[in-house]
Amino acid sequence: MTDELCFLPASELRTRIARKEVSPVEITRAVLARAELLQPELNCFITLCADEAMAEAREAERAVMAGEPLGLLHGIPYTVKDLVNTMGVRTTFGAVPYKDNVPDHDAVAVARLRAAGAILIGKTTTPEFGTKCLTDSPLFGRTRNAWSAARSSGGSSGGAAVAVASGIAPLAIATDGGGSTRIPAACNGLVGLKQSNGVIPHSQVQDAFGNQTYVTPMTRTVADTSLMMQAMSGEDASDPWSIGFRSGNFVEGSAPTGDLRGRRISFCLAPTGRSVAAEVVAAFKVALARLEALGAELEEMPADGYEIEPIWRAINHTAWRARFEKLAADHADELSETFLKQLALATKVSGVDYQQAMFDRTALFRRIQALLQKIDILAMPTITRTALPIDQDLFGTIEIDGQVFSDVRQNWFPWTMPFNMTGHPAISLPCGFSADGLPIAIQLVGRFRGDVELLRVSALFEASQDILGQWPGLAGG
C-alpha cells in the first residue's frame, strides 16, 4: 500500500482523502519515507521538512475527520524548487552564498498551494539561480535522472522532476526561464507545463514587465497539472502580466472530453540546421499519428527563422549580469565556473544589443501570434535527444546519434526558449521510450491564454497512449 500511495496521482489521492479511505498522515509518512530512502541515490532535495509536514498532515487529518470544508489539494504533498520563496523554510537558490537563507514570506504560488491545503515536504535542487539546463551546483552536487543514474536529470528544475518521477510527491512547483520545467519533464517522463505569461503570478521576478520566466507546475498527469493550475492561477498585484486574468475552471475544462475534430495542428521536427535523434523522430511520428487519430488535421510548419538562442541569451545573460555581478565579485570562490562564464558572456552585450533582442522578441511574438490565428496547436519534440550524461558540461559538446555538436542549448532544446519569449503556453508530454528505457517527449504549444484548451488536448493525447503507470525501477519501488 505504501508504494501504491507514493505513485497515485493527486487527483486520486484527493478523492480517497475526501472519502476517508486514506489519511493525509499516511500519505505524508509514505512520501517522506521514500524521500529518505531515495535521496542518497538521486540527490533531488536540498531541504526536507519532515517535522513540519507531519504536523500539517495531522491537522489535515483532524479537519477531514471533523467534517470541515476541504481545500482543493487538502492533505496532498508537494515540493518547491529551491528558487521559490517558502516562509520559514531554507531557500538557497542552489548557491553557496545563500546556504543559510530563510525567507520571511511565501511566493504567491506557494501561498496559494498552502491555502488549498497542500503539504510542503521539501525544497528541490536547482543549479545556481536556475541558470542552466543541468542540475548540479557546488552547494549540493549532481541530481541524477530518475530512470538512469548515468544520466542528467535535466534542468534547471531537475530536482522537482526527479522527486515527482520517483514517487516522492505527486506535485511540484518548478520554474521555467528557457525550458527549465519542460526539459527535466522530458528527461524524466513527466507532464511539464509553462503556462501563458501572467496566468500564475511571478511575485519574485525583478523585471516584471520584461519577464520571460515562469513559476510552473510539474506533475505525472495532465489532470494533476490542471489541479495545480486551478490552485495557483489568477491575478495578483505583484505581477502586471497577471492583472485582469480571471482563472477559469481548469479542472473541468481540461478533462479529456470530445475529440480533436476541427482542430488544426502544425508540426515541425526541428529548426533548420538542427539534428534530431532517430528514436525521437520515430516517437514523434507515432505521437503525431495519435493526434491525427483523435481527429486533428495536421500540416507541416516551415522550419526556418527559429535561430532563437542568441536572442534569448542576450536578454537572459544581461539580466543575470545585472542581478549577480556584485555577488560574483564578492563570492567568486564559492560559485561555479559555469555560472561565472555565463555572467562574463553578458559583458559582450551592449545596451543596443539588448534592445535589439527585445525588438526581435516582439517580432517573434507577432510571428507566432499570426500562425496561431490560423492554427490551433503547434507540435514539436521537446528535446532532440534523451537525457544527457550525468557529467555533461554546459559548455561542452553534445552528441546526437554519433554526431558531435558544440552548443548544448541550440542543439538539445531549440524549441523551448521561443515560447518563454512569446508567452504562449507550452507543455511537454511523454510520448515513448528509447531502446535503453529513457523517456521521450513531445511539446504542444497553444494560443496565448488558451491554457485550458491546451490541457484538454494534452489530456486526450495522454489518454490515447499506454504510458501512465510506467515508472522507474528504483529502490523500494
**Contact indicator for 383, 440 with CB cutoff of 8 Å:** no
Q: Phi and psi (nearest 5°) for 264?
A: -105, 130
Beta-carbon contacts of 231 under 8 Å, excluding residues fewer than 6 positions away, are 72, 73, 112, 113, 115, 116, 118
Helix, strand, or coil (residue 35)? helix
Give the three-state DSSP class for 194. strand
* 196 torsion bin: left (phi>0), alpha (psi -120 to 50), beta (else): beta
C-alpha grid cell for residue 17?
Answer: 482523502
- Tell me if residue 180 is catalytic: yes
* Strand residues in 292-356 grouped as ranges (E): 297-300
Instruction: Give the other-Cβ count within 10 Å of 58's Cβ.
Output: 14
Phi and psi at 121, nearest 5°, equal -105, -15
CA dihedral sign, ordered 198, 199, 205, 211: negative
Contact 220, 9 (CB under 8 A): yes
Q: List 444's β-bridge partners, or say none.
A: 379, 427
Q: Which of 23, 81, 123, 157 is catalytic?
A: 81
Catalytic residue among 137, 153, 166, 180: 180
Contact between 14 and 73 (Cβ < 8 Å): yes
- Catalytic: which of 137, 156, 203, 226? 156
Strands 136-137 and 171-176, how do they pair?
Answer: unpaired
To 10 degrees, the CA torsion angle through 205, 209, 213, 215?
60
Q: Are 376 and 265 in contact (CB under 8 A)?
A: yes
Q: How far apart (Å, rounded) are the C-alpha atoms in residues 159 and 142? A: 10
Q: Is 156 a catalytic residue?
A: yes
The SS3 assignment for 109 reads helix
Strands in 268-341 per DSSP E? 297-300
Active site residues: 81, 156, 180
